[in-house]
Amino acid sequence: MNRERRFYIPAPLRETIRVTAVAFVVLTFIGYVLQRVKPETVVPLLDALASLVEDNALAEADSAALFGAILMNNLSALFSAILLGLIPFIRLPAMELGVNALLLGAMGAYYQQRDLSLAAYLAGTLPHGVTELTALVFAIAAGLNLCRAVSDALLRRGEKGAIPRAFADAMLLYARFIVPLLLVSALIESFVTPTLLAAFL
């Protein structure tokens, strides 16, 4: 297999990735606006998220332990997001995309409303977020692509072999792109982000 084929992503999956990325950006903006205009709709989720982080023993863990926990959690979460695509018609991966995007945007507004530094928020999310959110978009797109193949097969309008092909494409995307992206993300979040946050807080 040559280098071009090694990093090849099939056209239908590439298109789904593009649409998913655009949807993520739009939903992030909506989350920001919702928190600014009608905060009571998002604050309970943000408070629950903050409480979960505070109660997590890993908040006090050393960087190596944090790295392992973050990596395993993200690998599991995004693999599960892909497998949700096996459930036809409902498009459950899209729900995970929506929740993550809305919370990301809402958190930015949440920081501003509490007179916290937006720079601190960006320092705490942007460095590892670039790779982690890219991996999230890839996983959600793979799940949606799989869901479409399963749904079309049940409606007897899909091509023969579409489900195995969509599943194989998803697993290749996971192995070649998502796993390396999450590895980089966990390294940054564990060893770089705490130092960046300390400079702003």
Judge whether 197 and 120 are in contact, CB under 8 Å.
yes
* pLDDT tens per residue across span 23-58: 999 999 999 999 999 877 766 766 666 665 554 545
* pLDDT tens per residue across span 137-157: 999 999 999 999 999 999 988
Q: SS3 helix, strand, coil % of the chain, rounded to 5? A: 85, 0, 15
> Could you tell me if residue 61 is left (phi over 0), alpha (psi between -120 and 50 degrees) or otherwise beta?
beta
b/e for 70-96, b at 16 or more Cβ within 10 A?
A: bbeebbeebbebbbbbbebeebbbbeb
Picking from 7, 21, 4, the residue whose alpha carbon sits closest to that of residue 100 is 21
Q: Is the pLDDT of residue 201 over 90?
A: no
pLDDT, position 177: 96
CA distance 84 to 90: 9
Domain ranges of the chain: 10-45+68-193
Residue 100 sits at the vertex; the CA angle it makes with 13 and 117, to the nearest 5 degrees, is 130
pLDDT, position 10: 86
> What's the predicted TM-score (pTM) here?
0.89
